[in-house]
Amino acid sequence: MSKAYIGIGSNLGNRQRNCLDAIELLRSNGLLVTKRSSMHETEPWGIKQQPQFINMAVEVKTGIPPQQLLCLLKKIENDMGRMDTVIWGPRVIDLDILLYDNIKIDEDGLRIPHPLMHERDFVLGPLSEIAPDKEHPVLSATIKTLLENIIA
């Protein structure tokens, strides 16, 4: 089985409940959630005039390949009522593959590791709770070190 890390975010409706519901949908769709960060309330990134986010990260074990995992995450987002709006705009739920084993993928619609994760404390903060020593497969630095570099 492969190990993946998924970022979870919500800034519309009951943000905490949305994040927990997303985790349950991951489980009910066959993913084994092995670790879960606490919830972090964070400022919006990109577009500032919107509600604050709740962000989390989970570690999952799965037998499905990355492309299929991405399809599953998009299905869960749609099932939860996510609407396509402006990029970085408000959303009921946002699910992103941050890391998948130690692989690197750069395809149309799928980039692993997540291409902006090293610039976002709202991603690295939760991820560092559950995988501080995990090494970024491109930047060759741990999640903890990447977070420290943003905060410094």
Contact 104, 8 (CB under 8 A): no
Please compute Rg for the chain using Cα positions.
Answer: 14
Tell me the CA distances in angstroms from 116 to 16, 52, 81, 124, one per residue in order.
24, 19, 25, 10
Active site annotation includes 96: yes
Active site annotation includes 15: no
Out of 21, 79, 84, 96, which one is annotated catalytic?
96
d(CA 130, CA 106): 25
Active site annotation includes 94: yes
Out of 15, 36, 82, 120, which one is annotated catalytic?
82
Out of 15, 36, 91, 120, which one is annotated catalytic?
91
- List alpha helices for the chain, DSSP H: 15-28, 66-79, 121-130, 143-151
Out of 15, 36, 94, 120, which one is annotated catalytic?
94
Catalytically active residues, by annotation:
82, 91, 94, 96
